[in-house]
Structure 1
């Protein structure tokens, strides 16, 4: 059931996170598409405005000419034989009549000191003829009257045809003479602003064949990633002449800013879900571990109490025997046995209560100045009988210069007793224990080394945990209830010190206690 719950919770969490990420990705893609659409609309408006401005400029030139030239600059009546050659259809048209010829001069704003000579001929049928430059070289080769021609052919100008003539003339010049960098930059910025795009941008105008033009913002190349493009102007057949490219260096920041609140909220909830899941999983594992430890603790305590209780029962039954009750020596012996076993059980209960009080901060630890070497000597005296029973030996290597600390003598004695007892209990054969001391500027250091069975890395991580014992279940070749080293850690930390163990399986252990000096 535990594994099933963990699997179901994990699948649910992964599913929730996947759905959230899916919607976040959809929101980002939608924002990108909207941004692209807004940019394309803006560029379309830019191209339209530039085109309309040129159209308006041409229209104004035509209107100004008509208004300013209400009368002819010079006029003359001629008997005129006029021939028109149509090279396309290979024919010649001849007009013979008396006509009025009027000449008009039209200055060109984009060419210095240049003009178009516009001739209106009035007769039976009004018509006009003109000649226009085909290339800038024609200007140099033109006559003193600055007359221009279309491939040597005469063209009849009816209503609106003069406007078309000017349009064609504009197309002969470079694009930077038709629109300025400042005008293009301002137009782009204005159109983007209309769609709430207030971003820095870079642009460049290229010919349709990919050649760069002077219209660009600083260094620009069409190889830049994430560029948008739009056609500018077109020829007589409707093919684009130039292409406007534009890029946004901070495009991603702009897109993210549009959904930042939703994105942060989603990420926050995902974070909360992960924390909640991790906490729940941790609590499940912790509770499962505590349950197992408590079960082992109950088993261990049951065995610890079983022996003294059985011994007390046997002693009481023996005293009840008529043959023994009359023997005062035997009665006294059994009473002492009962007293010793009762003391043993009392000690076990005290250990459990002591560790419980430590956890609840109910254990009062009064501190005073003590000599830690004396404390260690006292602890070795407490285990001397155990060492004699196992024919072991404790070797001391006291090299500490400063030995006075602020601490509780009783509890610190128990700390070293517990460590020494572990070295005795977990040694096969006669135990050999070395006690080293040294001092630094701030700490007194005690190292207690044994030659016992040692510990694995996994055991070392948990050896200071409450109720933890390497041997579990019904294996009780080593007595104990898993509280000794937990008590050691709590007392050392109450003295603002640290304790840790270094061990290798089959090669013994070294417990190191660091306590701050006065």
Structure 2
């Protein structure tokens, strides 16, 4: 993953996470406020209903204002200006709480004029009989209000627990969100660490590959000297060794060139120098080299190409490389006796060039991944064909840069055909005639 792409992903991820966390926090705060407001309103309605019924029982009128004073979040004072019976107050309070579906325990106290203190009444469980709120609050202090004369106070000690209970789903979702944020942060750390390791590995491979170029050049020169030496040519054994050295040089140099080209593609410094190239001038050398290999293995190479010029707009070096890769793969994966067919068919202004083999073929689940970097079709514990899985990746990248469609047709047991569609340039009239 490129650095700029990774940076954008992280920035967008952080912005999205911050937005979600902000919305979740706002939702939690708002929901808490709504539940708190709902609790206070229900408590005030219950207390007002109790005050109204006590006043009616005493044939008294309620004060014109300040009937209910909220001293704190869970403590209320009710100004009634008439005599208050503790048992009546407790019964009416439970009745009102049941009516309003406010199932919370409460404790109450009545102001005693003689002692100028609140006379504690009792701690009453929730009207629904919910015994799981086991609080030993008997004798807790309920402060008086010095401005009033006839009043009682009611305290709801489990108000906070009641709101928490109503917000269980909200807090559960918040925990899920927190875990998601933690996972995102962990994922970013892992991605950055893996990217750093991959970058180090890539730099090492690139540097090592460049370092190979000098000794490879020396080996090529030495192998050439050996092959041209008359004394070595006369000695069959030494001549075979010299050829072996040259062949291994060609093989290793080809792998090094693949790695270097792919490194340039990934860095974005890959350049394709397109020019007019006649495919007919490139094919003979490639086909002759392939035919020599197939003949050596008692195989066969069949060609079926148009005879007229086939001008393309392409980079000749990379065009030769990808055709060499495809022919090389066809030989390597055709078994002990390779039978290769190279054909070209005109379709309008295009040439469909196909390279076919009669090898074991490729299963459907592997065909879509053939052009992935480092991917090789699994062959179990047998690795009779050497390679890094870079050849077809390089072919796909070159075709992509040139705009050439590439297609793979294969079935297990029937062989594989790879087809590239080349746009053909117009042939000058003088050449055409």
Taking structure 1 as the reference length, what is the TM-score of the superposition?
A: 0.40
Q: Which has the higher strand share?
A: 1
Max Rg structure: 1
Taking structure 2 as the reference length, what is the TM-score of the superposition?
A: 0.46
